[in-house]
Amino acid sequence: MKRILIVDDAATVRLYHRQILEAAGYKVYEAVNGIEALEKSLQQPFDLYVVDINMPKLDGYGFLRELRSQDIYQAPAIMVSTEAQTSDHQQAFAAGANAYLVKPVKPEQLLIQVKLMIGEARG
Amino acid sequence: MTPLLEQFLSEARDFLEGIGEKLMQLEDAPGDAELMTALFRMVHTLKGNSGLFDFPEMTRVLHAGEDLMDAVRHEQVEYSQDLADRLLDAMDFVGMLCDEVEAKGSIGAHHAADSARLAESLRRLIASVDAAAAVVAVVASALPNALTETGIVVAEADLPPLVDIPESIRMDAYRQACGGVDLHWLDYTPAADCFFQGDDPFFQARGTPGFLWGSITVRQPWPALAELDAYRCVLEFHLLTTAPREQLDEYYRYVPDQVRMIPVTPLFLALPQGNRNGGPVAYENFVDKALGLLGANQLEDLVLAASNLIELSSLELWLSSALRWLLLVMELEPENRNAFAKIIESLRRQSPPKWTELLPKVTGGNPPAKTELHLSQHSLTPEEAEVMTKMLDVQREILNLPIQENWQLGRIKAVAATLTGCLMASGDVAARAGLEAATAMALEEAASLPLLAWLDQFQQTRSTASVESLVNQADVGVPVPRNLSEIQSDLSADAVRVSDVDAEAKFGRRAEDAGIGPKSLKVDQQKIDRLMNLIGEMVVSKNALPYLAGRAEDVFGVRDLSREIKAQYTVINRIAEEMQDAIMQVRMMPVSFVFQRFPRLVRDTSRKLGKEVNLVLVGEDTEADKNVIEALGDPLVHIVRNSLDHGFEQPDERRAVGKPVAGTLTIRASQESDRVVIEIQDDGKGIDPDIVKRKAYQKGIIDEATLERISDQDAINLIFAAGLSTVDVISDLSGRGVGMDVVRTAVEKVNGAISLESEIGKGTRIRLSLPLSMAVTHVMLIESAGQTFGIPMDSVLETVRVPCASISSIKQSLVTVLRGNIVPLKSINALLAIAAPPQANSDHELAVLVVRCGNEAVGLLVDDFRETVDIILKPMTGVLADIPVYAGSALMGDGSVLMVLNIKELLP
Amino acid sequence: MSLEFKKNQVHFKDMVGVEDAEELLEWLQKTPAAKVDFSACTHLHPANLQVLMAASPSIMVWPADAAFSAWLQSALDQHEDPY
């Protein structure tokens, strides 16, 4: 089963994304900030990351940069943020994101991205 | 309520509290950047959360607050008292909306005005700096039931006959749906015999909530009138409504099997109607021109062309109807270009647009079935293909970023992973080998070039195969109703044109700030209560073991077994006690939970009164049981208000008597053995015992004799008597008859005590003492008239056996003398309306339980005393809940139920 | 009385209850060119509606309430083509 790590400090957003992804059959893990996400990524491989930008301790950009410098499987990452500005997109891609979605993310929208990046939940 | 909404509300409350707290702290340290960042993040996150729901009123205010805090954070706007006030107002409003959501599940539309006003008030503060930001209208994205809206009707045959609805009503419905309401088509087929049951289905249908339009049809052809049975219902009702599904379910809850509800996708309403004799040939030019404009993205010209044509055409024409729809859809779903294309195409044939072709194949409904579908076909739906194109473009842009540091190779790996994912998803397995080779080469050279080259080649082959012009796509039915339309803008290529970006420069934005919340687990209170109940039952069940040991020995004569049971009992008893203790610990919370509201309360209230008061909080981390803490809240607020209102003098008054102009209010919490003590102390004018005395006398609370000899302390205590207020002026804060008696009652309800000291000119100190935990009650068992009752030990003073001879009667009341004091006696049977006299024992003594009632001792005549036990008191439920003489009930070790009496209620 | 019969006309008044359906049916059977006046009608029990639908008398006046009128027209108005 494909494993996805949701990195977001807002519990509500984590639950929202979890519900969408679990309903589609993915296995979902959570981290509340960049540090925790990094720790988890080093412990076990994920197939995809869904990452918020603004978080305490280590933000989304910082997390992705740290992640990309690790010698582990480099899974695609979707950056999710309320900011819709071009400069934020650029910064996200420079840090190592592979897609950028604006919150609130529509379920179909997220699922298409996820499917394209890592395939269906089963199979 | 969905778990998501619950989570949102719980988190929102935390944030609101945190925001209030941070604002308070900022008041003392307006320059603290760290505080500012934390504050911004909370408002930001809360706004993001609210955006998941259809709460535009809430999101609007939060968005304004977020923008304001962002401006403050970047020192574009200066922090001020006024700013804090407005933000606090806004957060109060949001809190109120949360309450409403919790109570009703939604936010009433009538809040829109307040929401706009508050948002405007916040934005006005930014406006001076950034005029543009003020103009930005917040469009809260409507996402009704995003997670539940999975079952969309697909088959054409299943579609309701929406075309029966007049165009104007359909347009209205479409407008409303684009504004966020749900649309449902409803078929209501009443039972044939329903008239005999007194039903009026027509009346029911007419009253449907959210009703927009309705029609009535018949199930079968009419027979000749002579054979008609008027009382056999053969009608069917059809209607379109804007009410949410739950409301409809509720409305038709008695006949769910007779109702079919079909969610209506808004675009499906766009069905042109009218006279087709307008000559399609005349429109051929328009269709081509319109598609051209659409392809060239000249939407304004398209609108103009359509409007012009409408003016030239008769209103009844099918064609003008189609154009009206085109304009409406362009207005309300400006991103949905496929829809425009469909309508324009329909003009050519004058046949309705086939909206079903636009439905997304991925609706998140049933994953396993969906998987099979895709496994077998292994091809992408048109909208997926489109997203994939964008995604490949994004990867290209990422590859175009300069590579200056080694870690950036990780970025390349991630791009390779993403591209691999795309290949897998599109079933293009053959291309994988090339991709892998290119990736390996790129990593070896530490450059993106090989991958870029591969991508170029791949996209070229792909575009010839599948990417067609938008116009052609419309014909084959490519995609995307409004939900998916944003993807285009999100991933649009110009958003990522970053070829010469100096990536290094951006990396300054490291996470610099410390975290906000402590690491703790949130547990629903009900779960803890359940644990509490379970341990209660455990404690009680465990008490059955000694009974069992006794029976093993006495009844069955097996002594060894009895001893073993007792040994086991000791172990279980210890574990149960520890467990009970542990659970109590879970329920403990710091008094700061109550204290945190005081900074705001004191600030607002004193400002309103024109007084200056500093608040000092001490011992905020003192802990007590949750119930106790919660019970503390209201009395404390009352006391603090009282103190601010009547305790503190006006600043000039204070200056005149040589006191510091700003008064000090100290709230101090501490633990004393098994009680938590809260002191509220002010340095105000104190309470004048003479005034209290006089007022008490005037109100008839004390008589003349008492007035003469009462001590000052006793006089001050009169303030707790019902109906006495010490001030003549009644302010809007404390209201009429400032009842300290109410405070006392509330405190006593949780077995607390309250005392008050005051010195004229120096101030007043109120002391509350409450039990640390209310969960375990120590009770004494007594017997009377063959029943066992429990009496809380707090109220028991002593147990004595009094010879019948020592009981005398004064004025028809029984009394006895104990150590020189006259103690009135009451028969517990009489108090409980049990018609049985007290039973004396063989020595002609009566059992008297002396209890405290207020400041007096009263003797209760019972038949016999028994042991004392610890019980978990459960409040009475059902009809018994209304009988105040019972404090509650508890399960006993032998399985019986013990009724615990409430002494204060029992004694008149 | 919620139903008023005058020659070949029937006037529906206020709320017309289920009990009137029988009489309405009998009247319609013996009145071939029946005409209906809903002007003072606020609601009618669907039993009456069924009888009217089966007999299809001509409607002289529709109810004042627009929504109610639209409901009735969907059931009784067979002739007028909207376009």
For the domain that residue B648 is a member of, what is the CATH number? 3.30.565.10
Amino acid residing at B33:
A
**Mean pLDDT of the residues in chain B:** 78
Cβ atoms of B424 and A119 within 8 Å: the answer is yes
- In this predicted structure, the answer to whether residue B28 has a pLDDT above a threshold of 90 is no
Question: In terms of domains, do B839 and B860 share one?
Answer: yes
- In this predicted structure, the answer to whether residue B89 has a pLDDT above a threshold of 60 is yes
For residues B589 and B586, what is the distance between their CA atoms, to the nearest angstrom?
8
In A85-104, the residues whose Cβ lies within 8 Å of chain B are 86, 89-91, 93-96, 98-104
For residues B51 and A83, what is the distance between their CA atoms, to the nearest angstrom?
13
- φ, ψ for residue B668 (rounded to 5)? -125, 130
pLDDT given for residue A117 in this prediction: 92
Q: Is B180 on the interface with A (CB under 8 A)?
A: no
In C44-63, the residues whose Cβ lies within 8 Å of chain B are 44-51, 53-55
Q: What is the 3-state secondary structure (H, E, C) of B161-190?
A: CHHHCCHHHHHHHHHHHHCCCCCEEEEECC
Q: Considering the domain boundaries, does residue B309 fall inside one?
A: yes
- Least confident stretch, B106-110, B586-590, C45-49: B106-110
Instruction: Give the chain C residue nearest B315 (alpha carbons).
Output: C83
CA dihedral (B421, B422, B426, B429) in degrees, to 10, reads -60
Question: In terms of domains, do B296 and B229 share one?
Answer: no
Subunit contact C47:B233, Cβ cutoff 8 A: yes
C near B: at least 3 beta-carbon pairs less than 8 Å apart: yes
For the domain that residue B213 is a member of, what is the CATH number? 3.30.70
Burial class (CB in 10 A: 0-12, 13-18, 19+), B809: exposed
Subunit contact A106:B483, Cβ cutoff 8 A: yes
Tell me which residue in B12, B387, B490 faces A100 most closely, judged by beta carbons. Answer: B490
The alpha-carbon gap from B273 to the nearest alpha carbon of chain C, in Å, equals: 9
pLDDT given for residue B339 in this prediction: 85
- φ, ψ for residue B808 (rounded to 5)? -120, 170
Subunit contact B484:A109, Cβ cutoff 8 A: yes
Q: Considering the domain boundaries, does residue B519 fall inside one?
A: no
Q: Is A20 on the interface with B (CB under 8 A)?
A: yes
Question: In B, which residues are within 8 Å of C71 by CB distance?
Answer: 202, 205-206, 214-216
Subunit contact B4:A115, Cβ cutoff 8 A: no
For residues B827 and B550, what is the distance between their CA atoms, to the nearest angstrom?
34
What lies within 8 Å, CB to CB, of B591 at 6+ separation is B619, B620, B621, B622, B623, B624, B629, B632, B669, B676, B678
Residues B541-580: tens digit of each pLDDT:
787 788 888 888 888 888 888 888 888 888 888 888 888 8
- Alpha helices, H only, B74-180: 81-104, 112-127, 131-135, 167-178
Question: In A, which residues are within 8 Å of B41 by CB distance?
Answer: 9, 54, 56
Say how many residues make up chain B.
Answer: 908
pLDDT given for residue B725 in this prediction: 55
Q: What percent of chain B has pLDDT over 90?
A: 8
pLDDT given for residue A80 in this prediction: 92
Subunit contact B496:A90, Cβ cutoff 8 A: yes
Cβ atoms of B3 and A15 within 8 Å: the answer is yes
Cβ atoms of B773 and B675 within 8 Å: the answer is no
In B476-497, which positions are buried (b, 16+ CB within 10 angstroms) versus exposed (e)?
A: eebbbbbbbbbbeebbeeebbe
Residues B805-816: tens digit of each pLDDT:
888 888 778 888
Question: What is the second-level CATH architecture of the domain C3-76?
Answer: 2-Layer Sandwich (3.30)
Q: Is B230 on the interface with C (CB under 8 A)?
A: yes
Instruction: Give the chain A residue nearest B403 (alpha carbons).
Output: A94
Q: Is B314 on the interface with C (CB under 8 A)?
A: no
Per-position DSSP letters for C16-34, written without gaps between them: E-GGGHHHHHHHHHH-TT-
Tell me which residue in B166, B213, B222 faces C53 most closely, judged by beta carbons. Answer: B222
Q: What percent of chain B has pLDDT over 70?
A: 83
How far is the CA of B675 from the CAs of B750, B751, B773, in angstroms? Answer: 12, 10, 8
The alpha-carbon gap from B85 to the nearest alpha carbon of chain A, in Å, equals: 26
pLDDT given for residue B241 in this prediction: 93
The alpha-carbon gap from C72 to the nearest alpha carbon of chain B, in Å, equals: 8
Question: In B, which residues are within 8 Å of C47 by CB distance?
Answer: 195, 230-231, 233
Q: Is B508 on the interface with A (CB under 8 A)?
A: no
Subunit contact C70:B213, Cβ cutoff 8 A: yes
Question: In terms of domains, do B74 and B180 share one?
Answer: no
Question: In terms of domains, do B484 and B419 share one?
Answer: yes
Which two three-digit tokens encode residue C7? 């020659």
Q: How confident is the model at residue B882 (pLDDT cuts 50, 70, 90)?
A: confident
Residues B184-231: tens digit of each pLDDT:
899 999 988 888 877 889 999 999 999 999 999 888 788 888 888 888
Question: In terms of domains, do B7 and B123 share one?
Answer: yes
Subunit contact C75:B217, Cβ cutoff 8 A: yes
Strand partners, B671: B676
Amino acid residing at B520:
S
Taking alpha carbons only, the member of B781, B805, B806 closest to residue B792 is B781
CA dihedral (B244, B250, B252, B256) in degrees, to 10, reads 100
For residues B320 and B277, what is the distance between their CA atoms, to the nearest angstrom?
12
Q: Higher-confidence residue: B489 or B1?
A: B1
For residues B63 and B48, what is the distance between their CA atoms, to the nearest angstrom?
9
Residues B610-630: tens digit of each pLDDT:
888 999 999 888 888 887 888
pLDDT given for residue A98 in this prediction: 94
pLDDT given for residue A96 in this prediction: 92
For residues B418 and A98, what is the distance between their CA atoms, to the nearest angstrom?
7
Question: In terms of domains, do B298 and B264 share one?
Answer: no
For residues B739 and B734, what is the distance between their CA atoms, to the nearest angstrom?
9
Question: In terms of domains, do B498 and B540 share one?
Answer: no
Subunit contact B509:A59, Cβ cutoff 8 A: yes
Domain extent at residue B320 = 281-358
Residues A80-106: tens digit of each pLDDT:
988 767 778 888 999 999 999 988 888
The alpha-carbon gap from B548 to the nearest alpha carbon of chain A, in Å, equals: 50
Distance from the first to the final alpha carbon of chain C:
39
Subunit contact B3:A15, Cβ cutoff 8 A: yes
For residues A20 and A23, what is the distance between their CA atoms, to the nearest angstrom?
5
Q: Is the four-CA dihedral B64, B67, B73, B78 of positive or negative sign?
A: negative
Q: How confident is the model at residue B317 (pLDDT cuts 50, 70, 90)?
A: confident
Question: In terms of domains, do B642 and B760 share one?
Answer: yes
Question: In B, which residues are within 8 Å of C53 by CB distance?
Answer: 218, 222
* Consecutive H or E run containing B320: helix B318-332
pLDDT given for residue B131 in this prediction: 39
Phi-psi region of B604 (alpha: psi -120 to 50; beta: other; left: phi over 0): alpha
Chains in contact with A via at least 3 Cβ–Cβ pairs below 8 Å: B
Strand partners, A5: A29, A49
**Strand order of the sheet with strand B856-862?**
B796-803, B845-853, B856-862, B821-827, B813-818, B808-810
- In this predicted structure, the answer to whether residue B350 has a pLDDT above a threshold of 90 is no
Q: Is A42 on the interface with B (CB under 8 A)?
A: no
In B156-215, the residues whose Cβ lies within 8 Å of chain C are 164, 166, 190, 195, 200-203, 205-206, 211, 213-215
Residue identified by tokens 């003469």 is B708
The alpha-carbon gap from C79 to the nearest alpha carbon of chain B, in Å, equals: 15
Which two three-digit tokens encode residue B738? 């400032």
In B477-506, the residues whose Cβ lies within 8 Å of chain A are 483-484, 486-487, 490-491, 494-496, 498, 501, 503, 506
Taking alpha carbons only, the member of B791, B890, B887, B777 closest to residue B848 is B791
How remote is the C-alpha of B426 from its chain's centroid?
42
For residues B199 and B747, what is the distance between their CA atoms, to the nearest angstrom?
54
For residues B61 and B97, what is the distance between their CA atoms, to the nearest angstrom?
11
Q: Considering the domain boundaries, does residue B216 fall inside one?
A: yes
The alpha-carbon gap from C66 to the nearest alpha carbon of chain B, in Å, equals: 11
Q: Considering the domain boundaries, does residue B885 fall inside one?
A: yes
How far is the CA of B149 from the CAs of A16, B360, C8, in angstroms? Answer: 14, 12, 53
Taking alpha carbons only, the member of C38, C46, C47 closest to residue C14 is C38
Residues B499-509: tens digit of each pLDDT:
333 333 333 33
- Least confident stretch, A40-54, B560-574, B718-732: B718-732
CB pairs under 8 A between B and C: 78
Average pLDDT over residues B334-341: 83
Question: In terms of domains, do B649 and B715 share one?
Answer: yes
What lies within 8 Å, CB to CB, of B139 at 6+ separation is none
Q: What is the 3-state secondary structure (H, E, C) of A61-119?
A: HHHHHHHHCCCCCCCCEEEEECCCCHHHHHHHHHHCCCEEEECCCCHHHHHHHHHHHHC
Q: Considering the domain boundaries, does residue B518 fall inside one?
A: no
pLDDT given for residue B201 in this prediction: 92
A near C: at least 3 beta-carbon pairs less than 8 Å apart: no
Residue identified by tokens 């899974």 is A75
Strand partners, C15: C43
- In this predicted structure, the answer to whether residue B1 has a pLDDT above a threshold of 70 is yes
Subunit contact B410:A123, Cβ cutoff 8 A: no
Subunit contact B216:C49, Cβ cutoff 8 A: yes
Chains in contact with B via at least 3 Cβ–Cβ pairs below 8 Å: A, C
Subunit contact A68:B413, Cβ cutoff 8 A: yes
Cβ atoms of B484 and A106 within 8 Å: the answer is yes
- In this predicted structure, the answer to whether residue B751 has a pLDDT above a threshold of 80 is no
The alpha-carbon gap from B363 to the nearest alpha carbon of chain A, in Å, equals: 7
Question: In terms of domains, do B28 and B115 share one?
Answer: yes
CA dihedral (C1, C2, C6, C11) in degrees, to 10, reads 160
Tell me which residue in B235, B275, B316 faces C46 most closely, judged by beta carbons. Answer: B235
Q: Considering the domain boundaries, does residue B150 fall inside one?
A: no
- In this predicted structure, the answer to whether residue B901 has a pLDDT above a threshold of 70 is yes
Instruction: Give the chain B residue nearest A120 (alpha carbons).
Output: B371
Quote the DSSP letter at residue B774: S
* Structural domain ending residue among the three candidates B358, B381, B406: B358
Question: In terms of domains, do B223 and B113 share one?
Answer: no
Taking alpha carbons only, the member of B131, B42, B141, B137 closest to residue B87 is B42
Question: In terms of domains, do B552 and B663 share one?
Answer: no
Q: Considering the domain boundaries, does residue B289 fall inside one?
A: yes
Helix (H, G, I), strand (E, B) or coil at B851: strand
Q: Considering the domain boundaries, does residue B114 fall inside one?
A: yes
Going along chain A from its start, the domains and CATH numbers come out as 3-118 (3.40.50.2300)
pLDDT given for residue B370 in this prediction: 32
